[in-house]
Amino acid sequence: MHSALQVTEIVQMVCRHGSNKDIIHLAITCQDLFHIAIPIAWEKVKGVLQLIKLIRTVVVDEEKFPFGNYTITTIDFSGPPKREYLDRWQIYAPFVRKLEIVEEESTRFHMGTLSALLPKEPQAMNYLFWVKVFGSSSLRDLRATYHSGSLSFLLPQSLDALGRLPNLDRLEIYYPPKSTRQDIDDLRKGTLSPTAFPALKALVLNNLIQHGADFLWDLPPLVSKLTTVELKFNPYPRRQQNEWALREMIPKLCDRSPYISELLLEFDCDSQEGIGMPHMCQFTDTAFGLIAQLSLTRLEVMHARLAGPDVLFKLTRTWPNLEVLRWTAQHIKVQELQEFALFLPKLKHLAVEVNMMPLPEEVDMTYIANLKRREMRTLESGLHKFSDLAGNDAARIYWYLSVMWPNARLETRASHIDSLPGRRLDLFCVNVVNHMEPLVLDMQSVVGVHPDNFSNGIYDDAVQNYVRVMWDAGCKFMRPQLEKINAPWRMLPAEALPP
């Protein structure tokens, strides 16, 4: 065996970056590698059948129905599993850290002999059954990530079972796409033990329908200790959904979950970036005022806008400890970015819709240099029409951003319009900016410009000209190639359109 494979950390690194097939081949090489590789091979299991088949008395039969595009998997236990039949289960199952019950969305399970696993509860519901089987005291993160969703987890008996998991700290639930208010009313509201959900800190509700979470915030053991809440709203019916979210849901959320430090609100979870006209919620001052009472370190709001002359003031002065601020549809001028640097010193990730216009001449570059925030890592924006800037304007913006946030990179949101010629040119320019720093440093060493001249904010003509030339040359090279593509030059998503 190669000496490198005698180092445990190296073997673990190889396993984590290789395929399962590679890990198995490594594991069967010798006993030492087996003990290192097998735990990693079983860390993440996609498809509960891989675990169930470890029990020797289990018979699995799969029948595909091409017309319905689904598969029925029948799991048959030949009587209660005896200890001698569980030897392989006891070896491999303890290594599992992440388990996806369903391997493919089209799979349906039939377990006529499920009482073999739950002899005292033979009538357990499908979803609750899996929770009871695998709901060990070590379970920390439960995600009901079924594409079709299910309200079963919201039934009183389900919440009671989940509330008994001592270390569950994150719960994620998907609502069915066609669920209604009547479905919610039929859940038969229950109560929870005061000691339920002792460790729960994060609650994520996907495809949330109108009034779909009201009763959850009537259960203090579930929501009173939350520090992270993510609500992704189903956008239909749009007007009523927004009114409920802004007037009822947010007030209840802020009042009954006062310890929230991370909040995500997505008002159109069904939209596709760049396609059609995603719904845009007009965020009210009242709702903003309620959220302002929370001590947030992370705030993400999608498909919503604030209106009024004091929007910039609100975003930069309300939460001084923000590390992540993503208000993705809010329009901000380039020169206004310095407000975020000045008043949010801990900010690491900022996502707004930056209007890519030339930087005004009156911007004080010396003042900008004194704002230097090394904590900032990502400026996320659509950056539409970025390539329309002239080279000298792009050079000034590059200098402005790189001095103010020297460790930050530009990042765009993936969109269905990224293949259009104009958009591809915009993305090319984003890459030019992100890879400009080493080129500028090389240029400085060649022409003899001391690095401190640039980093301390002295606007050096050599640097400006270098960035301008690189920008213009890149655009000149790319544009003729993109003009050959038979497609509209550029389209703008709703987020990029003026308010």
Both 95 and 142 in a single domain?
no
Contact of 280 with 329, CB cutoff 8 Å: yes
CA 429/CA 130 separation, integer angstroms:
49
Both 271 and 308 in a single domain?
yes
Please report which helix (H) or strand (E) contains residue 70, including its range. Answer: strand 70-77
Single-letter amino acid, residue 293: Q
Both 6 and 104 in a single domain?
no
Q: What is the pLDDT of residue 176?
A: 83
Contact of 420 with 357, CB cutoff 8 Å: no
CA 146/CA 80 separation, integer angstroms:
29
Q: What is the pLDDT of residue 440?
A: 65
CATH of the domain at 416: 3.80.10
Q: What is the pLDDT of residue 466?
A: 75
Q: What is the pLDDT of residue 270?
A: 59
Q: What is the pLDDT of residue 413?
A: 83
How many helices (H) and strands (E) the chain has is answered by: 20, 17
Other residues' Cβ atoms within 10 Å of the Cβ of residue 51: 19
Q: What is the pLDDT of residue 59?
A: 76
Give the CA count within 13 Å in the CB-facing half-sphere of 113. 14
Q: What is the pLDDT of residue 456?
A: 47
Q: What is the pLDDT of residue 116?
A: 46
CA 446/CA 23 separation, integer angstroms:
48
Q: Which of 71, 91, 123 is the last residue of a domain?
A: 123
SS3 42: coil
Other residues' Cβ atoms within 10 Å of the Cβ of residue 116: 18
Cis omega (within 30 of 0) for bond into 237: yes
Q: Which of 90, 108, 123 is the last residue of a domain?
A: 123
How many structural domains comprise the chain? 3
pLDDT tens, the chain, 499 aa long:
666 666 777 777 777 777 777 777 777 778 777 878 888 887 777 777 777 788 777 777 777 766 656 667 777 766 666 777 778 878 887 788 777 766 665 555 555 544 545 444 444 445 666 666 666 666 777 766 555 667 878 888 888 888 888 888 989 888 887 778 888 887 767 889 999 999 999 999 988 988 889 999 999 999 999 999 999 988 776 667 888 999 999 999 999 999 999 999 998 765 554 444 556 889 999 999 999 999 999 999 998 999 999 999 999 999 999 999 999 999 999 999 999 999 999 999 999 999 989 989 888 888 887 888 999 999 999 998 999 999 889 988 988 898 899 899 999 987 777 888 888 889 888 888 888 776 666 655 655 555 554 444 444 566 677 788 888 888 888 888 888 888 788 877 777 777 7
Range of 193's domain? Answer: 125-496
Both 303 and 376 in a single domain?
yes
Both 89 and 129 in a single domain?
no
CA-based R_g, the chain, Å: 27
Both 219 and 246 in a single domain?
yes
SS3 484: coil
Residue for token digits 């000209």? 465
CA 446/CA 441 separation, integer angstroms:
9
Give φ, ψ of 336 to 5 degrees.
-80, -10
Cα 298-143-131 angle, rounded to 5 deg: 140
Give φ, ψ of 259 to 5 degrees.
-100, 10
Both 466 and 483 in a single domain?
yes
CA 402/CA 399 separation, integer angstroms:
5
Exposure string for 93-110, b = 16+ CB within 10 A, e = fewer: beebeebebbeeeebebe
Both 195 and 56 in a single domain?
no
CA 258/CA 293 separation, integer angstroms:
8
Judge if pTM exceeds 0.85. no
Both 63 and 175 in a single domain?
no
Both 297 and 421 in a single domain?
yes
Both 184 and 197 in a single domain?
yes
Both 100 and 12 in a single domain?
no
Contact of 44 with 98, CB cutoff 8 Å: yes
Q: What is the pLDDT of residue 344?
A: 97
